[in-house]
């Protein structure tokens, strides 16, 4: 599946208001489904689909009929997804909150399936034909054009409202595969805050700290927003204008992070045949109130998600390993050298190795990944101290044979010298 996003342009204010009405109606249907599930024990997904038809026939809420029937079904599907996720968390007995379904108050999207819209022949315009009759909009797309895909390949269309306008997302049924030229290079990366990541060869990528750089403008904009707030009264137009300005600043930071993550992940995948990274639990790390903002600003989770995505597309091996003791252990002799977070240099008293802290950790991460691959190919996973579940086995694409070369890599540590070309990979 491929998602193509285009901005809806050249629409009148009335047209955008009708899109807002469609979004609010979709939110109403979704909340009605959640309420129905709360009040009726044993509700199934089919019951929620039938409820959509009942709501459309209710004369007390005539605006529901205006929304396309398949858009109503999509809203019911969203409600069922939250309900099903709650059931799964309860069965798995995860600690803490289980994610009980909540009512939406500020929805920003409405989703159509195969009807309710019509694309022009040149794929540059879209017209919404449901009861709200939002009319035609121009599609501005900078990533990919829709000309290369037929209407049968477009499975869903979602309208998303953001602070800088309205966007249209197309879910296209197409398999994306890119050609990867084997480079014979393997690497492990250590994610950090001083440097965004350091690889096993000692190369580093800077941490841009987009939120930190924008804090001065954000504080100034938020001060102006707070001065325009009137407690207990209806907010003025100046308040809403300033609220949009603050939202745009945060949206810019979010887009900068996403762009950085995509570019770094793509460059890493294209230049290596094997990438090993540490499986960090970012949700637990951000509980540290002194480092939470810096960790969130680094967007490690988003980077690893794009890394796995591009690894699938380019069909290379990508392994997640547990980060335990990767910083403390010596990458040469394995001696455990305790060091605090402020100690940035690894100095081994046993073999006298002196390395940068992150460089040493990246070497250990790569060794862990190579060891796990060797165990996986030899069928010994689970028989050693390595835990296959902790290593993120779902993120692994296995090498197609040639275990001897892999064993030689393990013996040589992380050296890339005289490494034979890594064979083709299978998904």
225 belongs to a structural domain: no
pLDDT at 377: 64
Counting residues of the chain whose pLDDT is more than 90, the rounded percentage is 48
Q: For position 144, what pLDDT does the model report?
A: 60
Phi then psi for residue 171, to 5 deg, are -95, 110
- pLDDT at position 423 is 31
Scored b (16 or more CB within 10 A) or e, 255-269 reads: ebbeebbbebbbebb
> Whole-angstrom Cα distance, residue 131 to residue 22?
9
DSSP readout, 7-66?
EEES--HHHHHHHHHHHHHHHHHHHHHHHHHHHSTT--HHHHHHHHHHHHH-TT-THHHH
Listed in sequence order, the residues at least 6 apart from 11 whose beta carbon sits closer than 8 Å to its beta carbon are 134, 135, 136, 137, 166
Q: Are residues 191 and 106 in the same domain?
A: no
pLDDT above 60: residue 426: no
How many of the other CB atoms lie within 10 Å of CB of 306?
21
* pLDDT in the model for residue 379: 57
Q: Can you tell me the distance from the alpha carbon of 283 to that of 367, in angstroms, rounded to the nearest whole number?
A: 26
pTM for the whole thing? 0.82
Q: What angle do CA 135, 137, 138 make, to 5 degrees?
A: 160
Residues 46 and 159 in one domain: yes
CA dihedral 175, 137, 139, 261 (to 10 degrees): -80
Averaged pLDDT, 10-38: 94
- Which of 373 and 306 is assigned the larger pLDDT? 306
Counting the structural domains of the chain, the total is 2
pLDDT digits over 259-301, tens only? 999 999 999 999 988 899 998 888 889 998 899 999 999 999 9
Do 165 and 191 share a domain, yes or no?
A: no
User: How high is the pLDDT of residue 121?
Assistant: 84
Work out the pLDDT band at 413, boundaries 50, 70, 90: very low
User: Measured on CA atoms in the order 258, 306, 113, 45, is the torsion positive or negative?
Assistant: negative
Taking the C-alpha atoms of residue 301 and residue 293, their distance in angstroms, rounded to an integer, is 14
pLDDT class of 378 with cuts at 50, 70, 90: low
- Together in a domain, 135 and 268: no
Average pLDDT, the chain: 84
- Reported as a pLDDT band with limits 50, 70 and 90, residue 376 is low
98 and 190 both lie in a single domain = no
What value does the mean pLDDT take over residues 180-192?
A: 87
Is residue 138 located within the same domain as residue 203? no
Q: Do 111 and 194 belong to one domain? A: no
**Residue numbers of the domain that contains 111:** 2-172
Residue 311 has pLDDT above 60, yes or no: yes
pLDDT at position 55: 92
Q: Mean pLDDT, to the nearest integer, of 394-408?
A: 39
């Amino acid at each position: 599946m491929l998602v193509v996003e285009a901005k809806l342009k050249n629409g009148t204010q009335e047209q955008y208001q009708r899109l807002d009405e469609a979004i609010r109606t979709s939110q109403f249907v979704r909340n009605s489904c959640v309420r129905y599930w709360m009040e009726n024990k044993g509700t199934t997904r089919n019951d929620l689909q039938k409820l959509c038809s009942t709501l459309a026939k209710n004369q007390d809420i005539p605006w529901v009929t205006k929304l396309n029937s398949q858009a109503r079904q999509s809203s019911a599907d969203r409600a069922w997804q939250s309900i099903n996720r709650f059931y799964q968390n309860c069965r798995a007995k995860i600690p803490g909150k289980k994610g009980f379904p909540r009512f939406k108050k500020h929805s920003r999207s409405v989703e159509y399936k195969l009807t309710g819209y019509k694309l022009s022949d040149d794929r540059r315009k879209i017209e919404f034909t449901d009861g709200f009759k939002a009319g035609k909009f121009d599609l501005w797309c900078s990533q990919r054009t829709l000309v290369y895909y037929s209407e049968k390949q477009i499975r869903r269309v979602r309208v998303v409202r953001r602070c800088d306008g309205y966007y249209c997302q197309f879910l296209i049924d197409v398999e994306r595969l890119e050609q990867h030229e084997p480079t014979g290079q393997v690497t492990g990366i250590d994610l950090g805050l001083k440097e965004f990541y350091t690889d096993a060869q000692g190369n580093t990528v800077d941490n841009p700290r987009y939120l930190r750089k924008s804090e001065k403008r954000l504080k100034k904009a938020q001060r102006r927003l707070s001065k325009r707030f009137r407690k207990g009264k209806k907010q003025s137009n100046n308040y809403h204008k300033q609220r949009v300005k603050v939202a745009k600043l945060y949206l810019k930071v979010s887009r900068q992070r996403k762009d950085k993550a995509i570019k770094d992940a793509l460059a890493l995948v294209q230049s290596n045949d094997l990438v090993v990274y540490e499986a960090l639990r970012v949700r637990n790390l951000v509980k540290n109130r002194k480092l939470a903002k810096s960790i969130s600003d680094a967007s490690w989770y988003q980077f690893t998600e794009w890394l796995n995505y591009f690894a699938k597309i380019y069909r290379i091996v990508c392994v997640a390993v547990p980060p335990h003791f990767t910083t403390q252990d010596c990458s040469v002799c394995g001696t455990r050298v305790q060091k605090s977070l402020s100690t940035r240099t690894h100095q081994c008293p046993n073999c006298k190795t002196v390395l940068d802290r992150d460089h040493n950790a990246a070497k250990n991460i790569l060794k862990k990944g190579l060891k796990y691959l060797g165990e996986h190919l030899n069928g010994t996973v689970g028989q050693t101290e390595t835990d296959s579940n902790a290593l993120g086995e779902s993120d692994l694409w296995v090498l197609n044979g040639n275990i001897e070369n892999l064993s030689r890599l393990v013996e040589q540590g992380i050296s890339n010298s005289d490494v034979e070309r890594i064979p083709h990979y299978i998904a």
